[in-house]
């Protein structure tokens, strides 16, 4: 593994930890971190007090060029997240639970932008 890859992984992990702290401070509970399915991965799976499952994509960008982290969650990425979320719900017997997709963007100054219900499974394409 190259030093660059290690550094990149460490930055990504730090961004996920920062996002997790923010979400937990808002009352969400971590269910799973880095859930991997056949065609996708979910950074954080959180649960709200009302039982809603929240799938969180964390995006880190050192700069806001090209729209920043939120803009980088394109249609292809959304489809992969939806696929992984369906797998998670099925594997854990949660198919009937309400769910949503949030995006948390972290920039190079550790500023956080949390977009609740950033997209849904019906309008992601």
CATH of the domain at 15: 3.40.1350.10
**The pLDDT value given to residue 2:** 38
- Is the separation of the CB atoms in 36 and 83 below 8 Å? no
In a domain, 108, yes or no: yes
Position 43 in a domain: yes
Residue 4 pLDDT more than 80? no
| pLDDT value, residue 64 | 61
pLDDT at position 66: 58
Structural contact between residues 74 and 120, judged by C-beta atoms closer than 8 angstroms: no
Answer for the pair 34, 43: CB distance below 8 angstroms, yes or no: yes
- Any domain includes 13: yes
What pLDDT is recorded for position 91? 94
Q: How far is CA 91 from CA 1, 86, 88, in A?
A: 32, 9, 5
Q: 102 in a domain, yes or no?
A: yes
125: in domain: no
User: In the chain, how many domains are there?
Assistant: 1
Q: From CA 90, how far away is CA 34, in angstroms rounded?
A: 17
pLDDT digits (tens, 9 = 90+) for 42-101: 999 999 999 999 999 999 877 666 566 677 788 999 999 999 999 999 999 999 999 999
Is residue 86, in this structure, part of any structural domain at all? Answer: yes
The reported pLDDT for the residue numbered 69 is: 65
In a domain, 124, yes or no: no
pLDDT at 83 (0 to 100): 95
Assigned domain for 98 exists: yes
Q: Give the tens place of pLDDT for each residue, 5-52.
A: 458 778 788 889 999 999 999 999 999 999 999 988 999 999 999 999
- Domain limits for position 102: 3-119
């Amino acid at each position: 593994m190259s030093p660059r890859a290690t550094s990149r992984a460490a930055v990504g992990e730090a961004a996920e930890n920062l996002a997790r702290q923010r979400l937990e401070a808002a009352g969400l509970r971590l269910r799973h971190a880095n859930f991997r399915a056949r065609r996708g991965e979910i950074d954080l799976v959180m649960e709200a007090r009302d039982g809603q499952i929240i799938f969180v994509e964390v995006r880190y960008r050192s700069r806001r060029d090209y729209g920043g982290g939120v803009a980088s969650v394109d249609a292809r990425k959304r489809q992969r997240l939806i696929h992984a979320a369906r797998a998670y719900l099925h594997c854990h017997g949660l198919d009937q639970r309400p769910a949503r997709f949030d995006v948390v963007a972290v920039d190079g100054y550790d500023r956080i932008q949390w977009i609740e219900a950033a997209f849904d499974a019906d309008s992601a394409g």
